[in-house]
Amino acid sequence: MANFRKPSDKASETVTFRLRPAERRLFEHLAEVGGIGLSELLRSLILRRAGELGINQAPAPLPRRGPGRPRKLRTPAAAAPAPEVDSPGATPMEVSIPVAPPRAAPSLGASFSDIIDRFLEHFGDRGEGTRRELAETVDFLTAARDGGPILPRETAVEEIDSACMEAARERIAALDIRMSRKNLYLTYLRMMMHFAVKRPGPRPAVNPVLDLEPLTMRELGSWPAPSCPAGEVP
């Protein structure tokens, strides 16, 4: 025969409550971080809220109603107004759960070398071919050459502006390499500048879309000359 106990005599009870998916994940994460079980975490939150409200003990439970329809009670005229009770549609009391603040993005750094390092880290989940092209672009921009690197690693972030990007674009345009390769390097430099202007801390004073436009055949002097009628000199 089962050993039946009244709810008031039990050491603990099973309670069912509803959480949204995000709230449940947060609840489980808090328990995991604290190294405790879900029940223990819930009990600690209940005790914490009770302490905030100055409540040391819950009131005694109301007597259970007997079977049948309850009698209608008449309230005397001089009786005190009945205390307000929560209606079925009332908003439940919110439980304050501490949440860690969002992690701030790391600052950009002070030089073009810092921009490169941050962007390589940000770009680490791309495909092998794309990462290889980015590495080639970095080597191309920072390689020693006549007149110095196109964009030295030690260039301060404050010195990277539209004039600096225009000079880099002109030097790329003047090199004896294919136009497709030139535009590939400009594309990755444009991506790095897009990334840099959105980071906290010192930022380049550039407009990547306008300052690093792709090169065209007309601009490089590879556009075919217009044909002229016979007897005319262009």
Would 88 be classed as within a structural domain? no
Would 153 be classed as within a structural domain? yes
Burial 176-197 (b: 16+ CB within 10 A, else e): eeeeeebbbbbebbbbbbebbe
Cβ atoms within 10 Å, residue 30: 18
pTM of model > 0.75: no
Q: Which domain holds residue 42?
A: 18-53
CA 221 to chain centre: 45
**Is residue 56 over pLDDT 80?**
no
* The last residue of a domain, from among 5, 34, 53: 53
Confidence of residue 69 (pLDDT cuts 50, 70, 90): low
Would 213 be classed as within a structural domain? yes
**Radius of gyration, alpha carbons of the chain:** 36
Would 188 be classed as within a structural domain? yes
Place of tokens 């791309």: 126
* Between 98 and 130, the higher pLDDT residue: 130
What is the overall mean pLDDT for the chain?
Answer: 78
Task: Work out how many domains the chain is built from and give that number.
Answer: 2
Per-residue tokens: 130: 């794309």
**Is residue 225 over pLDDT 50?**
no
Q: What is the pLDDT of residue 233?
A: 45
Would 63 be classed as within a structural domain? no
Q: What is the Cα–Cα distance from 4 to 99, expressed in whole angstroms?
A: 42
Q: Closest Cα to residue 138, out of 151, 128, 129?
A: 151
Would 93 be classed as within a structural domain? no
Per-residue tokens: 233: 């000199």
Confidence of residue 40 (pLDDT cuts 50, 70, 90): confident
Q: What is the Cα–Cα distance from 195 to 208, expressed in whole angstroms?
A: 10
113 burial (CB, 10 Å; 0-12 / 13-18 / 19+) is middle
100 burial (CB, 10 Å; 0-12 / 13-18 / 19+) is exposed
Would 45 be classed as within a structural domain? yes
* Between 63 and 145, the higher pLDDT residue: 145
